[in-house]
Chain A
Amino acid sequence: MESRIDATGKHYKTLNQEIISGMNGGTTKLILDNVNGQRYIGDALEGNQEIIIHGVPGNDLAVFMNGLHITVYGNIQDGGANTMNEGTLVVHGSAGDTLGYGMRGGEIYIRDDVGYRAGIHMKEYGDDRPIIVIGGGAGNFLGEYMAGGLIILLNLEGRENCLGNYTGSGMHGGAIYVRGDIEKQRKKIKARIVPVQNAEAEELNHYIGRFSKYFDRNPGPVRPEEYFKIVGTGARPYKKLYVGV
């Protein structure tokens, strides 16, 4: 069952209550029109329903989300997919700062750019493994304190500076794959850089294939030499900053 909500002028509490009522009433596809700044859409919701958002949703979109498939036609603001556990977020635009903060599972696809600190404190355990695929470039501190999961940065416009400064600061788990030339960006990376192996191409192709399907933008099959990989420097990257331990 499909239904529609006009979000014009609605406070986030009202809008989110209407979303929950819709879901409880059996809606499987909910279309939100004229969203502008309402926070917490998708907050802790679970199930297989779909939400389509037209406009700019507010901070903490998909926070604590446990399922659902959210598609946004517009940019998203700060704190998108904060502590998300499961589900999919697809953004036809750019994301603000701290995308996927402490994310523990699910998948995010961003067509254009992400702001500062995307993937900060992302973590994985067992089968729960968060994925972020970015079509454009990233702001500073991508993957800061990252403990698990996967970030793929496709740099589809081929920018020389697709990474911001301090990429991977404090990173101690997971992996960031970047499509592009490493040499000009080496200094920005604060974690270990390793080549991509042939065996890793299959998994990358899987998520990049989904990105291509969502946005109709295809970088082609992965050739490992076109990518480099950033991994953690060890279990405790800042150990040397502390005295006597």
Chain B
Amino acid sequence: MLREGKIRIPSGCAVSGIINRKGQVFSGIDIVDSIANMRERSNGLGGGFAAYGIYPEYRDCYAMHIFYDDIKAKEDTDYYINRNFEVNLSERIPVRKVKVIENQPIIWRYFLSPIPRRIEDVGGDEDEFMAQFVMQINAMIEGAFVASSGKNMGAFKGVGYPEDIGEFYRLDEYKAYLWTAHGRFPTNTPGWWGGAHPFTLLDWSVVHNGEISSYDTNRRFVEMYDYKCTLQTDTEVIIYLFDLLLRKIGLSLEEAVSVVAAPFWEDLDDLGPLKSRQLRNLRILYASALLNGPFSIILASGNGLMALNDRIKLRPLVAAEKDECLYVASEEAAIRAVAKDLDRVWAPRGGEAVVGLLEGKSDLLSASSSGRKIAGKCSGS
């Protein structure tokens, strides 16, 4: 084996996202071509995609994608699912044989309707019921891992280069209005199927290039609100933070961005007294939600996507528009690979969110989520 200094692995993770803001669906070919253009950024230890709008025939069901290490894990999970849901369909996710993709788990999907009584048992909040259900499977059932669980969306991920993962999952046969993708170069944590991006909860998904140095601070913060971090990676906590800030606490997207990528204290004074005070308060109130360290992320929901850099832009991010499509990626070439002529290309500043929403939507938070559940609890603490 070659030791340090004898081999160079020039990698750094890649992200890409495409949304058709008119909601027109398109196949997974473009997103695979886009992320494949940045192959040099990953090292074959993780690739994945999130797709929105792929299950119109089951749009009202929760589409649950689950990895199982063995049949025992599936049987345990099935028992638990059958107690809580009406199962509309349960099947293997169709895959193609790809030579370089190996050691895959059992990959299953379910289309589920929660049994109303079960939701009542936990207080009547369907989103919270789903979130807790998913985190309990991940935490309690050995060898079972929920890859995604939102409506009309799904995560397709695994160990391999992203273009091979796309081939494996037959993404050319799916049509979505919003796709995100990730090519992984694992830094501090192992490359395993569950650890590939995107990470999801409800219909949120996130892909991430970077490293969250504040992981433990953030983890302790979200754990106080009943989130369980079980996946051995910093990216997991990003999705829980956004779910907490947007769905449970009810901050606006702009406020949530100013919490996770807070402006520097010395820059606040330039923003006028009102804005400065608002941002100062948010930063004090949610200090433990600040994401410290280098990152570029794409957060997506059924309503659209948001791309964001850390405050001093230690990871790359480029955005572009062509007609009703918005593109974001780690490199401009990854966008040009699928849209050669663009109306506009720009480099977002650190901490400046790029937001692409479906026409008629005003927020990333999906309609099924009611939001502002514990605002009183937080502002009073």
Chain A residues in contact with chain B, CB under 8 A?
Answer: 12, 36-37, 39, 55-56, 58-59, 75, 77-78, 94, 96-97, 113, 115-116, 139-141, 164-165, 187
Contact = CB atoms under 8 A, between A and B. Distances in A.
A37 B316 contact: no
Contact of B345 (A37, A75, A187): A75
Contact of A115 (B40, B334, B336, B347): B347
A56 B313 contact: no
Contacts of A164: 349
B119 interface: no
A121 to B, nearest CB: 15
Contacts of B331: 37, 58-59, 77-78
A36 B313 contact: no
A139 B312 contact: no
A139 B332 contact: no
A52 B332 CA distance: 19
A138 to B, nearest CB: 11
Of B38, B318, B332, chain A has the most CB atoms within 10 Å of the CB of B332
A56 B333 contact: yes
Of B267, B333, B350, chain A has the most CB atoms within 10 Å of the CB of B333
B336 A39 contact: no
A116 B350 contact: yes
B37 A37 contact: yes
Interface of B: 37-38, 40, 267, 270, 312-313, 316, 318, 331-334, 336-337, 345, 347, 349-350
Contact of A116 (B313, B333, B336): B313
Nearest to B12: A59
A77 B333 contact: yes
Contacts of A116: 312-313, 350
Given A37-B331, A116-B350, A139-B349, A165 B267 contact: yes
A92 to B, nearest CB: 14
Given A39-B40, A58-B333, A96-B347, A139 B316 contact: no
A116 B332 CA distance: 15
Given A77-B331, A78-B316, 4 more contacts: A58-B40, A59-B331, A77-B333, A113-B347
B313 A139 contact: yes
A161 to B, nearest CB: 11
Nearest to A37: B333
Nearest to B331: A77
A115 B347 CA distance: 7
A39 B347 CA distance: 19
Which 5 residue pairs across A and B have the least CB separation, nearest first? A37-B333, A116-B313, A36-B333, A56-B333, A37-B37
A136 to B, nearest CB: 12
A82 to B, nearest CB: 12
B332 A75 contact: yes
Contacts of B337: 36-37
A139 B333 contact: no
Nearest to A116: B313
Contact of A140 (B40, B312, B336): B312
A55 B40 CA distance: 18
A226 B99 CA distance: 63
A217 B177 CA distance: 42
Contacts of A113: 347
Contacts of A187: 270
A222 B313 CA distance: 33
B76 to A, nearest CB: 45
8 contacts: A36-B37, A37-B331, A37-B336, A56-B332, A56-B336, A96-B347, A139-B349, A165-B267
A140 B313 contact: yes
Nearest to B40: A39
B257 to A, nearest CB: 17
A96 B316 contact: yes
Contacts of A139: 313, 347, 349
Nearest to B10: A39
A78 B316 CA distance: 8
Given A36-B37, A37-B38, A97-B316, A140 B333 contact: no
A97 B313 contact: yes
A37 B334 contact: yes
Nearest to B37: A37
A107 to B, nearest CB: 23
B54 to A, nearest CB: 28
B265 to A, nearest CB: 13
A164 B337 CA distance: 30
A236 to B, nearest CB: 22
Contacts of B345: 75
B276 to A, nearest CB: 15
A49 B32 CA distance: 37
A77 B349 contact: no
Nearest to A79: B316
A165 B350 CA distance: 11
Nearest to A76: B332
A56 to B, nearest CB: 5
Contacts of B334: 37
Contacts of B316: 77-78, 96-97
A36 B337 CA distance: 7
A190 to B, nearest CB: 11
B128 to A, nearest CB: 40
Nearest to A75: B332
Nearest to B263: A165
B255 to A, nearest CB: 22
A139 B348 CA distance: 10
Contacts of B270: 187
